[in-house]
Amino acid sequence: MLRAAKAEGLPVTLGVCPHHLWLTVDDLPRLGALGRMKPGLKSPADRAALWDAIADGTVDVVESDHAPHTLAEKQSERPPYGVPGLPTTVPLLLTAVGEGRLSLQRAVELLSDGPARVLGVERPHDTGCVVEMDTPWVIDGARLLGRCGWSPYDGMRA
């Protein structure tokens, strides 16, 4: 439906979050309340469809959807929806680049050019970023900067 709307030239913007690209309902038993988010995690087939939408240009933006709830909040009787995403969004997307899922240029489009276009922000021409692609990193939520103290990606290589 969104592909068709974009093909018709309708003003449609599509963003996806890393948790929907890396996690599925199969991760919920491990995550428990930490996997509580909206929209909820879906099937591996749904995740594959999102990667296809990234590949064919349907997706405009990868967004962190950063919801910095503490571990205590997520383990409470009424855990809030959402997961922390800011410290892991770029490393995870660059991991996808290293795995050949998308090009570095496409990652830049999804993380920088797309958001700038959607928000109407003019990007300065002299900007740049240096990225170390050859040093693997294992995500440890307890060591990430911020107040959360956890990550749904704990133990994943990025």
Q: What is the pLDDT along the chain (158 residues), one digit of tens a residue?
A: 888 898 898 999 999 999 999 999 999 999 999 999 999 999 999 999 999 999 999 999 999 999 999 999 999 999 999 999 999 999 999 999 999 999 999 999 999 999 999 999 987 778 788 888 888 889 999 999 888 999 999 999 98
- pTM for this model (two decimals): 0.91
pLDDT reported for residue 130: 83
**β-pair partners for 46:** none
pLDDT reported for residue 108: 94
- Domains within the chain, CATH numbers bracketed: 2-143 (3.20.20.140)
pLDDT reported for residue 90: 94
And the tokens for 52? 């296809």
pLDDT reported for residue 33: 96
Of 157, 153, 147, 119, nearest to 18 (Cα)?
A: 153
**β-pair partners for 61:** 15
133: amino acid identity, one letter? M
Instruction: Give residues with Cβ within 8 angstroms of 89, minimum separation 6.
Output: 18, 62, 63, 64, 111
